[in-house]
Amino acid sequence: MNPFENARSIILGTGSCAPENVVTNEDISRRVETSDSWIRERTGICERRVASDGESTADLALEAARKALRHAGVSPSDLDGIIVATATPDLTFPSTACLVQGKLEIPGTFAFDVNAVCSGFMYALKVADSMIRSGQSETLLVIGAEVMSRFVDWSDRSTCILFGDGAGAIVLGKSGNENAAGVGAVSLHADGRYWDLIHVPGGGARSPVRPGEPAGNACTVRMKGSETFRMAVRTLEESVREVLKEEGIGVDDVDWVVPHQANIRILQALSERLNIPLERFVINIDRYGNTSAASIPMALDEAVRDNRIRPGQRILLTAFGSGVTWGSGLVNWTRKSGEER
């Protein structure tokens, strides 16, 4: 008999971290031609957090990780590995995961980054879950962390209003034979034909920042907003339905949807198409904007800590991002938190 047949991963603890510096819509409207009402109506965003000088993706990731470890009652030395989902790493290399591992002082533990931009957390979760299910690992740290503000053209009103900085983390552990508990089906998809819908042209091997040359605007986000919007709504619905089918459950069995926070209108459209009321969505885009790979674990942590998410509930995670990439997953929430163990 396969000893891992019934192995599942469960979320043992969550944590998050956002920079203290708040940038309101009013602040942005002093820099570009826009208004608080336009941004609220078209995106649902009221303010976002922006990292201060010297504050980096690894710093936010580390803080979120420490909170998740405390919440789980797990010590860094218990970890088998660290996976960081980020599209805004501190350095081109080494990975942000290695920087976090160094700060946690757990040499030897594996550490690597996953880049699926706004879907990054779903990709990292799937990799970690698979490693636990297959028996390769028992306890993993999965982090989504971004400092998007450094890759935004603050003179482009169509993109600078959207993004914010932050990090969210979970500690993933191995469950016993609880068949229904923990991380369930996770579906991942990508369509690289649409790589240019949302991209940062400069800074990579194709268009490097050369010594002595200013990086200029080449290292900032370019986005075809309305095409992205339409594709996001369609693919999110498809992947949610795929996960529900694989789990053999219906929309009424889902207690909470914890979505990537890209635009409130995308979430409204998804809510209508799925027939899941928006009240069952965990939404914090109003306070943080689009924090890319960090948005799902940040929202999850918020809803766990304020007791919206409780044991026995079914939580649906879903994301869409640059690549283009998208994915959804079902988590059967098992324990309240490590703090209570």
Minimum CB distance to ligand ACO smaller for 13 or for 259: 259
229: helix, strand or coil? helix
Smallest gap, in angstroms, from Cβ of residue 95 to ligand ACO?
Answer: 19
Show the site string, 165-204: x = touches ligand ACO by CB under 6 A, - = not: ---------------------------------x------
Size of the site for ligand ACO (CB under 6 A): 24
Q: Which of 131, 186, 232, 270 binds ligand ACO (CB under 6 A)?
A: 232
Burial of 194: CB neighbours in 10 Å, binned 0-12, 13-18, 19+: middle
Q: Is residue 154 a contact point for ligand ACO (CB under 6 A)?
A: no
Q: Kindly write down the DSSP assignment for every residue of 93-146, as one continuous string.
A: SS-HHHHHHHHHT-TTSEEEEE--GGGHHHHHHHHHHHHHHTTS-SEEEEEEEE
Could you tell me which stretch among 128-136, 186-194, 236-244, 261-269 binds ligand ACO (CB under 6 A)? Answer: 261-269
Minimum CB distance to ligand ACO smaller for 131 or for 299: 299
DSSP state of 187: E
Minimum CB distance to ligand ACO smaller for 4 or for 195: 195
Smallest gap, in angstroms, from Cβ of residue 293 to ligand ACO?
Answer: 9
Smallest gap, in angstroms, from Cβ of residue 326 to ligand ACO?
Answer: 10
User: How far apart, in Å, are the Cα atoms of 338 and each of 72, 172, 195, 226, 310?
Assistant: 4, 11, 40, 42, 13
Q: Which of 13, 259, 321, 329 binds ligand ACO (CB under 6 A)?
A: 321
Single-letter amino acid code for the residue at 102: G
Q: Which of 226, 248, 252, 306 binds ligand ACO (CB under 6 A)?
A: 226
Smallest gap, in angstroms, from Cβ of residue 118 to ligand ACO?
Answer: 4
Burial of 59: CB neighbours in 10 Å, binned 0-12, 13-18, 19+: buried
Q: Which of 66, 157, 234, 308 binds ligand ACO (CB under 6 A)?
A: 157
Q: Kindly write down the DSSP assignment for every residue of 21-76, as one continuous string.
A: -EEEHHHHHTTSS--HHHHHHHH--SEEE-PPTT--HHHHHHHHHHHHHHHHT--G
Which residues participate in catalysis according to the annotation? 118, 260, 290
Q: Which of 7, 38, 203, 219 binds ligand ACO (CB under 6 A)?
A: 38
DSSP state of 249: -
Minimum CB distance to ligand ACO smaller for 14 or for 86: 86
Is it true that the peptide bond before 324 is cis, omega within 30 degrees of 0?
Answer: yes
Q: Closest by alpha carbon to 71, among 319, 300, 308?
A: 300
Residues 88-147 that bind ligand ACO (CB under 6 A): 117-118
Interacting residues with ligand ACO (CB under 6 A): 34, 38-39, 42-43, 117-118, 157-158, 161, 198, 225-226, 228-229, 232, 262-263, 266, 290, 292, 320-322
